[in-house]
Amino acid sequence: VERTLSIIKPDATKRNLTGKINTKFEEAGLRIVAQKRIHLTQDQAGEFYAVHKERPFFGELTEFMASGPVVVQVLEGENAIAKNREVMGATNPADAAAGTIRAEFAESVGENSVHGSDAPDTAKEEISFFFSGLELVG
Ligand code: GTP
Ligand code: MG
């Protein structure tokens, strides 16, 4: 089995969508093996999204990610990384397939409700950014 890092972003926690989003994961066969609600500083958000540092939207992105609580979680399942990205839908909700989290809940390309790791190496890095091994309960 594979694990991936998921973040329920501030636009979604603000609208009380944590439960509905978790239902989407669980219905897709993804198990939530770790989960906590935290409020990032903009510096911490910048560290997490360091790969996007040179992008024009970096300031907007980190400000948004620090604008309210997020729920960080580890999802486990067969092909969890790809499966999660399928359940999330395209980055821009206008392009997201019907039934995906972003199609149903996202407000814009920036405020798009969820993050999911995009590859095994980034999943490993992102999980250890937020969680210790003791916090992962399979
Ligand atoms: P993540 O799972 O969050 O990494 O999304 P992604 O892989 O589908 O998108 P990408 O890695 O290209 O971008 C990371 C995040 O930056 C997105 O999820 C958006 O929240 C944000 N983002 C991407 N493009 C834009 C943009 O044009 N404007 C703003 N404000 N934010 C953007
Ligand atoms: Mg990405």
Task: With beta carbons less than 8 A apart as the criterion, state whether 65 and 115 touch.
Answer: no
Mutate to test the pocket of ligand 1, among 61, 67, 107 (most ligand atoms within 8 A of CB): 61
pLDDT grade for 50, boundaries at 50, 70 and 90: very high
Residue pLDDT, tens place only, 77-90: 999 999 999 999 99
Residue pLDDT, tens place only, 53-85: 999 999 999 999 999 999 999 999 999 999 999
Strand partners, 80: none
Two tokens, residue 16: 């009380």
Q: Which helix (H) or strand (E) holds 97?
A: none
Q: Return the active site residues.
A: 115
Ligand 1, atom 29, residue with closest C-alpha: 110
* Cα radius of gyration (the chain): 14
pLDDT at 138: 86
% of the chain with per-residue pLDDT over 90: 99
Q: Model ipTM?
A: 0.92
Q: What is the mean pLDDT of the chain?
A: 98
Task: With beta carbons less than 8 A apart as the criterion, state whether 114 and 12 touch.
Answer: yes
